[in-house]
């Protein structure tokens, strides 16, 4: 059901983009909007991972620079039946992480220095497993396309006044006003609905990958508290990337409603605790998912 809902939401977002084009320029505007959507999606498919990693100043890690963390990711990728993703470190005090890449063969997982500073090994494994779940579920591509189309709708809304006198505009100035006011809001709502749907599923699959739902639940609680206290200036300047992180990097509250990029953390933790009970896990501290092969994070 989650995949069907995501597909419907993504199709709805694309259709809305075409409607906006039609409202601004009639049939010709809709054709132009379709061409722009295809071009932007093509560009995003091939370059989105490089863009976002560069935006956050991520530096690659390897077995020599971070032996223990690299071994952990490799083991979890094997459990998830995935190729070893590229591993990156972001020098940022806010504890957070994200995955990107168009498919499992070209995936990347990035963690911040803040995350490695506050989580224990089990919790780090839970976070990595969550991000690998996004990779396995192809969420990284879905979310990139959603963000690209939503951004394009916002761009059309910004240019709405320039099309206001277009004779092909079927609704005249009324249509222009509607596009300017409603288009960005509608795009944002659909994008956030897609993001929230995939976060719940990634929590579930990630917990199964690492075998410790309570470790991931504990990590989420720590990350939420840390993200609320520490700014992520790059994310604040680029809010369209907020949905990629495991917890919301922006300081806009955490209510579980249509205007939140992420589900409420308490709700996510409650679901993970319920999953732990189903799996017969201990209700207190989780056991280590595996024995690390080497020393500290590196």
Domain that holds residue 56: 2-279
Which is the catalytic residue, given 27, 123, 131, 282?
131
Displacement of CA 60 from its chain's centroid (Å): 20
pLDDT value at residue 262: 83
Residue 110 domain flag: yes
Other CB atoms within a 10 A radius of the CB of residue 185 amount to: 14
Residue 143 domain flag: yes
pLDDT value at residue 293: 36
Residue 156 domain flag: yes
pLDDT value at residue 70: 97
pLDDT value at residue 33: 67
Q: Are 198 and 134 in contact (CB under 8 A)?
A: yes
Is the torsion defined by CA of 15, 21, 26, 27 positive or negative?
A: negative
Q: Are 237 and 150 in contact (CB under 8 A)?
A: no
Q: How far apart, in whole angstroms, are the C-alpha atoms of residue 204 and residue 120? A: 20
Residue 295 domain flag: no
Residue 290 domain flag: no
What's the domain count of the chain?
A: 1
Is 131 noted as a catalytic residue in this protein? Answer: yes
Residue 19 domain flag: yes
Residue 24 domain flag: yes
Residue 107 domain flag: yes
Q: How far apart, in whole angstroms, are the C-alpha atoms of residue 126 and residue 20? A: 41
Other CB atoms within a 10 A radius of the CB of residue 283 amount to: 9
Q: Where do runs of H (alpha helix) occur along the chain?
A: 2-55, 67-79, 113-118, 121-136, 139-158, 172-210, 213-229, 233-237, 265-279
Written as tens digits, the pLDDT of the chain (298 aa) is 445 655 666 676 677 767 776 666 666 666 776 777 667 667 766 777 888 899 999 999 999 999 999 999 999 999 999 999 999 999 999 999 999 988 899 999 999 999 999 999 999 999 999 999 999 988 887 776 666 666 666 666 666 555 555 555 555 565 566 666 666 666 666 656 666 678 999 999 999 999 999 999 999 999 999 999 999 999 888 777 888 899 999 875 444 444 566 888 999 999 999 999 998 854 444 434 333 333 345 4
């Amino acid at each position: 059901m989650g995949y069907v809902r995501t597909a419907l939401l993504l199709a709805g977002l694309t259709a809305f983009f075409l409607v906006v084009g039609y409202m601004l320029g009639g049939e010709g505007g809709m054709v132009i909007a379709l061409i722009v959507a295809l071009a932007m999606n093509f560009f995003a498919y091939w370059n989105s991972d490089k863009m976002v990693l560069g935006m956050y100043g991520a530096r690659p890690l390897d077995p020599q620079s971070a032996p223990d963390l690299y071994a952990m990711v490799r083991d979890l990728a094997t459990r998830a039946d995935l190729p070893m993703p590229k591993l990156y470190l972001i020098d940022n005090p806010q504890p957070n992480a994200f995955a990107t890449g168009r498919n499992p063969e070209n995936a990347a997982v990035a963690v911040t220095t803040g995350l490695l500073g506050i989580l224990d090994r089990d919790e780090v494994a839970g976070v990595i497993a969550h991000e690998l779940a996004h990779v396995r579920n192809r969420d990284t591509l879905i979310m990139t396309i959603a963000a690209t189309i939503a951004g394009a709708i916002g761009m059309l809304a910004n240019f709405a006044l320039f099309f206001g006198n277009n004779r092909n505009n079927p609704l005249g100035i009324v249509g222009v006003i509607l596009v300017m006011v409603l288009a960005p809001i509608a795009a944002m709502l659909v994008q956030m609905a897609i993001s929230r749907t995939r976060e719940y599923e990634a929590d579930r699959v990630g917990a199964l990958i690492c075998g410790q739902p309570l470790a991931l639940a504990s990590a989420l609680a720590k990350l939420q508290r840390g993200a609320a206290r520490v700014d992520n200036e790059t994310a604040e300047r680029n809010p369209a990337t907020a949905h990629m992180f495991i917890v919301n990097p922006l300081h806009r509250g955490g209510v579980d409603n249509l205007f939140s990029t992420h589900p409420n953390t308490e709700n996510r933790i409650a679901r993970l605790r319920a999953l732990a009970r189903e799996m017969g896990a201990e209700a207190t501290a989780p056991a280590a998912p595996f024995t690390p092969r080497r020393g500290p994070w590196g």
